[in-house]
Amino acid sequence: MAKRYILNCLQKGKSIIGLAIQLAKVEFKLRNEGSYLGVFWYLLNPILTFALLFLVFSISLGNNIPKYPLYLLLGIIMFNFFQSSTLESTKLMRDNNRLIKSIGFPRESLIIGLILKNLFSHLFEFIIFICFFICLGLNLISILFYLPIIILFLLFVFGFSLLLSSLAVYFVDLDNIWNFAIRLIWLGTPIFYAIDGQNHLFFFNLINPLYYFITLSRDLVIYNKMPEMWIILGSVGCTLIFFVLGIFVFNKLKIKMAELI
Partner 1 sequence: MKRIIIENLEKEFSIGFLKKQSSFQWLLSFFSGREPKKVIKVLDNISLKVNSGEIVGIIGSNGSGKSTLLRIIAGIYDYKKGNVTVNGKIISIINLGIGLKERLTMKENIFLVGSLFGMSQEEIKSKLNSIVEFSGLKEFVNTKIYQFSAGMLQRLAFSISVHSNPEILLLDEVFEVGDEDFREKSAERIKELVRAGATVVLVSHDLQMVEKHCNEIIWMEQGKIRESGKTKEVLGSYKNDRL
Binding site for partner 1 (CB under 8 A): 15, 18-19, 22-23, 26, 29-30, 33-34, 96, 98-105, 172-173, 255-256, 258-259
Nearer to partner 1, 103 or 229 (CB): 103
Find the shortest distance in angstroms from Cβ 148 to partner 1. 29
Find the shortest distance in angstroms from Cβ 183 to partner 1. 22
Nearer to partner 1, 47 or 174 (CB): 174
Find the shortest distance in angstroms from Cβ 95 to partner 1. 12
Burial of 186 (0-12, 13-18, 19+ CB in 10 A): middle
Find the shortest distance in angstroms from Cβ 75 to partner 1. 34
Nearer to partner 1, 116 or 214 (CB): 116
Nearer to partner 1, 28 or 192 (CB): 28
**Within 13 Å and on the Cβ side, how many CA atoms surround 176?**
3
Cβ-Cβ contacts under 8 Å for 238 (sequence gap 6 or more): 156, 209, 212, 213
Find the shortest distance in angstroms from Cβ 7 to partner 1. 16
Find the shortest distance in angstroms from Cβ 93 to partner 1. 13
Nearer to partner 1, 135 or 172 (CB): 172
Nearer to partner 1, 183 or 256 (CB): 256
In terms of phi and psi (left: phi > 0; alpha: psi -120 to 50; beta: otherwise), the region of 224 is left
Find the shortest distance in angstroms from Cβ 204 to partner 1. 30
Nearer to partner 1, 29 or 183 (CB): 29
